[in-house]
Amino acid sequence: MSDLVIVESPAKAKTIKKYLGGNYEVIASMGHVRDLPKARLSVDIKKKFAPKYEIIKGKEKLVEELKELAEKSDKIYLATDPDREGEAISWHLAYILGLPLDDNNRVEFNEITKNGVTNGMAHPRSINIDLVNAQQARRILDRLVGYKLSPFISQKIRRGLSAGRVQSVAVRIIVDREEEIRKFKPEEYWTIDAKFIPKGSRKSFSASLYSDANGKIKIENQEQAEKIEQDLADAEYMITKVKHGTRRKTPAPPFITSTLQQEASRKLGFQSRRTMKVAQELYEGVDIEGMGATGLITYMRTDSLRISDVAKEEAAQYILN
């Protein structure tokens, strides 16, 4: 029997299967397979906030299929996404399939290319329990804040209002910022700018009034600005110093999750959800004529600026050619 590789999505499974070949069976878990049931709190507050997990409703048939394939496989690889959610999904899969947590069966694909998949399969590791616990803490906080605070807010403030682990903190930051804005006392100031055309030239250049004879000047009202403007109108001007220099501009760094979302919003008007959906598709693989399903970007939920050596070499060669 071939080795079993479990990934999160069918699109990724299709792309990875192409690179791994016939000795591997690649199947998708379709995201999380085990979670806190929705019908109750499912967090035991009295026992160190222990979560009570169950198979997600509707995933029972998939779980049985995974168990059957696992029993027939020589080796099982957990290849969920390389982040804390992916690590938690692998941990849940290991529990369901009865896999030892210290077994080197966890693989990461930072890019769904032949090199990225081959490299990931060559360096399996055990499940990182710290990442799993980070995800569990986030999930438990979501549940505690959502299930404990939302009913209170809905009852006391307005029906239908809810609270969340992230949105509640964001609202507090906005309120604090608004209070700072309201406390701000505006001060009037003026600037004086001019355009100059040197003798013997048709090109003009701009300059701003910076100081008078006594040093840097602060113009506080219109009357002061107009008086200075009158004094300057008949004055003669002299360029005392010209400084030549070379400015070096480096390219922008690779996107991280936040900068990707910001740029997509600024240039394309995309909301974060749409940006991440498109990025997920580009990461998992797009059908390209003559190449089949091919991953086009590295993993998008990251704060890393690292670019693979292969990508740099190929980009350099493309530019040279």
Q: Which two tokens stand for residue 38?
A: 């929705």
Residue 77 has pLDDT above 70, yes or no: yes
Would you mind telling me the total number of residues written for the chain in this entry? 321
Query: Chain-centre distance of CA 306, in angstroms?
Result: 14
The dihedral sign for the CA sequence 208, 212, 218, 220: negative
Confidence at 167, pLDDT banded by 50, 70, 90:
confident
Would you call 15 exposed, middle or buried from its count of C-beta atoms within 10 A (0-12, 13-18, 19+)? buried
Return the beta strands (E) in the chain as ranges: 3-7, 24-28, 34-35, 43-44, 50-51, 54-55, 76-78, 193-196, 205-208, 211-212, 215-216, 286-288, 292-294
Confidence at 306, pLDDT banded by 50, 70, 90:
confident
From the list 78, 83, 75, 74, the residue with the least C-alpha distance to 95 is: 78
Structural domains in the chain, CATH included, are 3-135 (3.40.50.140), 187-254 (no CATH), 257-304 (1.10.290.10)
Looking at residue 166, its pLDDT comes to: 86
CB 52 within 8 A of CB 36: yes
Average pLDDT of 221-227?
Answer: 93
Catalytic residue among 19, 77, 283, 299: 299
77 is catalytic: no
pTM: 0.75
